[in-house]
Amino acid sequence: MSVETKQPAYTLVFDPSTGGESYTVSELQKALEKGSEDEKVAAMKHILVMMLDGNPLPELLMHIIRFVMPSKNKKLKKLLYFYWEIVPKMDEEGKLRHEMILVCNAIQHDLQHPNEYIRGNTLRFLTKLNEPELLEQMVPSVLTCLEYRHAYVRKYAILAVQSIYNVSEHLIPDAKDIVYKFLEDEMDPICKRNAFVGVAELDRESALKYLEENIVNIEKIDPLLQSVFVEFIRKDANLTPSLKDQYVALLLELLNATTYDDVVLETALALTLLTPNTTILNASVSKLTDLADRVSDNNVKLIVLDRVQDINNNNPGTLEERTLDILRLLNSEDLDVRSKALDISLDLISSRNAEDVIQLLKKELQITVTNNEKENAMKYRQLLIKAIRSIAIKFSEMAESVISLLLEFISELNSVATCGVISFVKDVIEKYPQQRSVILTQLVSALDNIKSAKAYRGALWILGEYSESSSEIQASWKHLRTSMGEVPIVQSEMRKLNKNDEDNGEETKDEEAAKPSGPVILPDGTYATESAFGNEDISKKVSNSEKEERPPLRRFILGGDFYTAAILASTIVKLVLKFDKVSKDKHVMNALKSEGLLILVSIIRVGQSSLVERKIDEDSADRIMTTISILMDENDPNEKSSERSLLDLAFIEATRESFKNQLSLSKRANLRRSVKDVVKNADTIETAISFRQFAHSNVGAIEKDTVEEDLNQAIHGDASDFAAKQTSSRLKKIVPLTGFSDPVYAEAYITNNQFDVVLEVLLVNQTKDTLKNLHVQFATLGDLKIIDNPPSTNIVPHGFHRITITVKVSSADTGVIFGNIIYDGGHGEDARYVILNDVHIDIMDYIKPSVTSDERFRTMWNEFEWENKISVKSDLPSLHAYLEELTKGTNMGVLTPQESLGEDDCRFLSCNLYAKSSFGEDALANLCIELDSNTHQVIGYVRIRSKGQGLALSLGDRVALIAKQSNKIELSRI
């Protein structure tokens, strides 16, 4: 028998069974009858858990009445009232059970008990009863408790009166008058609060009357009563819109007068629901930000900021004046609070306050640089740079000052932040052509301070693309030449090493004096030479301080970063091609070409030597050799115009056009998001205009009470989940645990919740005998834990029995639940076993596709240590078909824009995927596949990274399963 879904569960009870042990009914009866007080307490806890699992245990009712109800033990009495809440009080015909008469007598005695806490606990129990037959006998005692000396009793007595009246009005017909009189006479604040709640629910007119009588001194009233006043006003304004203006004025007065944080929060939220007036909304948000700034609890700060964001979403464009107030929360040390405050402020920025916000963020950025040792300083700095970047892109007049600000701090930033600054410079220099000259000058002056090779590559691309005039090209070239240092690199570095060796040799002068001086003559009569290409240890002779003193490009190249050298080669060709267009000075042109050739040849030579930490790779060498050949061909007077146009297309036009397309795609995505926000709060053109003078009485009703919505969602859950619990979808999750020929047939319906799995198991006795002492045992593999094993039971011939097992899930790893059914054999026979089928927990129920930024993806990719690399070999017809199957099978979202994935018939595809589990685990994936031209198969690799090993392996199994399913052989004929 399962618990009815309509029956409420009032109290959470801790399950004391840590080892999963179970008790029979006879053992529980014995513990209640002959056990000590502690044993009875333990037995009652087991009984409560078993009943909540669906077993009503009717055999124990009389034992509890006889052996537990007379006890004076406080713990036992508290558990007893929990038991009375959930025990079935009606028989099969719907009539009150005879045993409950004894229970009524005991409850009446407790209502007259001299201990106020027992009285209060009993009255609290009465608020949860819904049976008029039981409550009828309690009414006189409850009314007597209204005058009890102790406030603990009175506060529950008034709630009990309200609850009894709601169950059946004829039990206390004058309940309204009783509650109102109690409210006027009572002095205790908690009792007055409970009384006003009762008056507001039972008699609105009386509540309104009491509110009018206390309006004058509302700021002096206890905060508990102020809170219920605010709640009453918020609800009543929806029912009687004619009073809304007076309610708003009253709440505004209370908001300015009260000093209690909880009242400030509730009053401000009520005001934002009652009126869209800009002045009142700004006053409410100002109080909310003061509250968030004043309290120390970061959770409260986040809750308040969430509410402010909701207010802004519902009333766009009204909170612009509160931008700097919200940014005061940047004083918090919590990174989540700072991030939330920045996100809200960015939505509120306009041209009027953009400069003030930039100045404030600049001060915060300076603080992060000076206090670099603080925790999360680096992450906070990245948040600030991202915020400053978004402001400058939105307001062109701020771009120049912002870029100078960020380039000023670029030497103090880490690699990720520096790359963000360079990316921002790219966006601004493309979007605002009139500022390109100034930005290029600032960038060139700041390049010497860049320590990140990736950021420097981005800066080189900017110099090559946006140096247009002759002076700009020569200024960029001058920086490149300075940043390379002395060339040829091999000879200059060898001279430095030889000079260092001579300096070191002076210290061992006596030892060197014994050796012959002068050049070394070989046996064939030639002089010996020292080469940088044969000595493997030359790069190790340079100290770290000397490496840091090198110019940026020279440091990167000698450090083995030849990808940067390849970007430099492309930049040199771009500058040469552009200078040839804008200038006719052949002398300068020839000087640029010769100097460019010298630099590139020097890079090739040093890449093959032992001066570098890593030898040059083949791809970089090919790219540099290609640019050398292009510069050499530039000297050919017979070069055709078509060849020259192809060069311009490849090096000048195509890259700029590609970047423009990327920016336009990003702009369209931002527009789509902003349009969604506008549409969410916009009225359609067909919406009727309502005039207050001609409207009905409910015209001013609140369209959406967000406070009530949040409360209903917390109590009843999301309505969208209802469809998932329908019978048609339930049938899909039924798993057979045994076969139809087994003596006991078992099947389980599996429900996946956020942090646990619930198995509702149906057991069917298929024999003609009663199965005695039958119990089901479960065990798990993986990060699963059985919360409780069900107790043993007896099943009559061809009878049914239902049990519920809860399995706790702690991570999104693959888990297996297995077990068996045990029951007693015949007379003198051993116990009999039925082995259950394994139940595999599908991790896809805990993994959801998600979205993250490219910077965040790269950061996590570098941090996560577990990687699972899976080879791909599939017979699917196209690369996009495989990508679709991969996202469907792994529940991962594609981060790469659709435009970058290529056409449907492309032969190569690479993209990033991301998902997040219910437990907060991040799963990253990189797909790199191609279409084999010979076999027409999809081949390549999927690399999965996660913080834990289990998630990476589980997703890898899903990827392997996709390959198996797609490579099934179809049988055409036999």
Tokens of 336: 């989540």
pLDDT value at position 157?
92
pLDDT of 603 above 70 = yes
Q: Are 729 and 258 in contact (CB under 8 A)?
A: no
- What lies within 8 Å, CB to CB, of 87 at 6+ separation is 51, 56, 61
Q: Average pLDDT in the 752-757 region?
A: 77
**Rounded CA gap, 879 and 931, in Å?**
7
Judged by average pLDDT, the poorest of 116-125, 474-483, 719-728 is: 719-728
Mean pLDDT value of segment 176-183: 90
Kindly state the percentage of the chain with pLDDT values over 90: 17
pLDDT at 4: 39
Is pLDDT at 622 greater than 90 in this prediction? Answer: yes
- Distance from C-alpha of 160 to C-alpha of 146, rounded to nearest angstrom: 10
Calculate ∠ Cα 753-759-765, nearest 5°: 165
DSSP state of 755: S
Query: Between the CA of residue 558 and those of 350, 456, 466, 478, 737, what are the distances in Å?
Result: 47, 15, 28, 20, 66
pLDDT in tens, 94-113: 787 888 888 888 888 888 88
User: Which pLDDT tens digit goes with each residue over 698-707?
Assistant: 444 455 566 6
Say if residue 768's pLDDT is above 80. Answer: yes
pLDDT of residue 816: 86
Calculate mean pLDDT across residues 762-786.
87
**Exposure letters 637-670 (e unless 16+ CB within 10 A, then b):** eeeeeeeeeebbeebbeebeeeeeebeeeeeeee
Q: What is the pLDDT of residue 762?
A: 92
850 burial type by CB count under 10 A (0-12 exposed, 13-18 middle, 19+ buried): middle
Average pLDDT of the chain is 82
542 pLDDT above the threshold of 70:
no
Mean pLDDT of 219-243: 85
What does the pLDDT average to over 192-221?
86
Predicted confidence (pLDDT) per residue in 43-62, tens digit: 888 888 878 766 778 888 88
Q: What backbone phi and psi angles, to 5 degrees, belong to 422? A: -65, -40
- Residue 3 is predicted with a pLDDT of 38
Q: Categorize the per-residue pLDDT at 568 as very low, low, confident or very high, splitting at 50, 70 and 90.
A: very high
Read off the pLDDT of each residue in 818-835 and give the average, rounded to a whole number: 84
* Contact call for residues 458 and 422 (beta carbons, < 8 A): yes
pLDDT on residue 7: 47
Q: Which two tokens stand for residue 435?
A: 């500022």
- pLDDT (mean) for 123-142: 87
Q: How far is CA 512 from CA 495, 502, 522, in A?
A: 20, 11, 20
Rounded distance between C-alpha atoms, residue 966 and residue 906, angstroms: 20
Q: Are 613 and 493 in contact (CB under 8 A)?
A: no
DSSP 3-state of 924: strand
pLDDT tens profile 627-648: 998 888 755 555 566 677 777 7
Predicted pLDDT of residue 373: 62
Residue range 921-925: mean pLDDT, rounded: 91
Confidence at 541, pLDDT banded by 50, 70, 90: low
Higher pLDDT residue, 328 or 973? 328
- The continuous run of DSSP H or E covering 751 comes out as strand 744-752
CA-based nearest residue to 144, from 129, 122, 166 = 122
Query: What is the predicted pLDDT for the residue at 731?
Result: 66
The mean pLDDT of 12-33, rounded to a whole number, is 68
Q: CA 608, 610, 611: angle at the middle one, nearest 5?
A: 100
Q: Exposed, middle or buried, 232 (CB in 10 Å: 0-12/13-18/19+)?
A: buried
pLDDT reading at 668 higher than 50: yes
Model confidence pLDDT, tens digit, residues 454-492: 889 999 999 998 998 889 999 999 999 998 888 888 888
Number of Cα atoms under 13 Å in the Cβ half of residue 749: 13
- State residue 503's pLDDT score: 61
Torsions phi, psi for 878 (to 5 deg): -145, 165
Nearest CA among 792, 806, 705, 831 for reference residue 754 = 806
> Would you state the pLDDT for residue 926?
94
pLDDT digits (tens, 9 = 90+) for 311-369: 988 888 888 889 999 999 998 888 899 999 999 998 888 888 888 898 898 888 888 87
Number of other residues whose CB lies within 10 A of the CB of residue 303 = 14
pLDDT for the residue numbered 691 = 58
